[in-house]
Structure 1
Amino acid sequence: MYALHITFTSSAPAEQTRDGAVAFAEALRTVPGFVAKTWLVNGSHHGGFYLFTDRAAAEAYRDGPLVDGLRRHPAFADLEVRGWDVDESLGALTHA
């Protein structure tokens, strides 16, 4: 498994981007190797923890059209993407 942590700021209120987020989630579900996303929000800061079957799938997603759409969205700024190896044996101890 491999994880991405993606964060950005949004100048639009969350209720204005809700429909777009639902469409994004539907598209994300079709990404090869995608396992799960935990959605994060704290005021104008948004993002998520994404889990993929392997690093190649995560990197393909990172370089693909959905993340590109985040980069180009006029209300989003300060996009950061970080990749992480997943320690599955420790994760199993905490129900991950």
Structure 2
Amino acid sequence: MHALHITFTSSVPAEAMHDGGVAFAEALRAVPGFVAKTWLVDGSHHGGFYLFTDRAAAEAYRDGPLVAGLREHPAFADFEVRGWDVNESLGALTHA
């Protein structure tokens, strides 16, 4: 497994992003190797913790059209993307 942590700021209020978030979630579910996303929000700071079956799937998503669309959105800025290997044996102990 491999994880991505993606964060950004938005000039659009979180409540106004719901419908776009639903459409994004539907597209994300079709990404090869995608396992899960935890959606993060704190005021104007947004992002997610993504889990993929392997590093190749995570990197393909990171470099693909969904992330490119987020980066190109005029209301979004200050992107940070970090990749993480997942310790599956310890994660199993905490129901990950």
TM-score band, normalised by shorter chain: over 0.9
* Shift, 1:15, TM fit: 1.4
Q: TM-score, normalised by structure 2?
A: 0.99
Does residue 83 in structure 1 map to residue 69 in structure 2?
A: no
State the Cα deviation string for residues 10-31 of structure 1 (Å, max 9, x = none).
0010111111110000000000
* Shift, 1:39, TM fit: 0.3
Amino acid at match of 1:3: A
> What's the RMSD between the two structures over aligned residues?
0.4
* Shift, 1:84, TM fit: 0.1
* Shift, 1:59, TM fit: 0.2
Unmatched 5+ residue regions in structure 1? Answer: none
Counting matched residue pairs gives 96
Identical pairs, percent: 88
- 2:95 and 2:46 map into 1 onto residues whose CA distance is 24
Give the match for residue 35 of structure 1. Answer: 35
Does residue 54 in structure 1 map to residue 54 in structure 2?
A: yes
Unmatched 5+ residue regions in structure 2? Answer: none
State the Cα deviation string for residues 62-81 of structure 1 (Å, max 9, x = none).
00000001100011000110
- 2:15 and 2:90 map into 1 onto residues whose CA distance is 36
Give the match for residue 3 of structure 1. Answer: 3
- 1:73 and 1:58 map into 2 onto residues whose CA distance is 21
- 2:51 and 2:90 map into 1 onto residues whose CA distance is 15
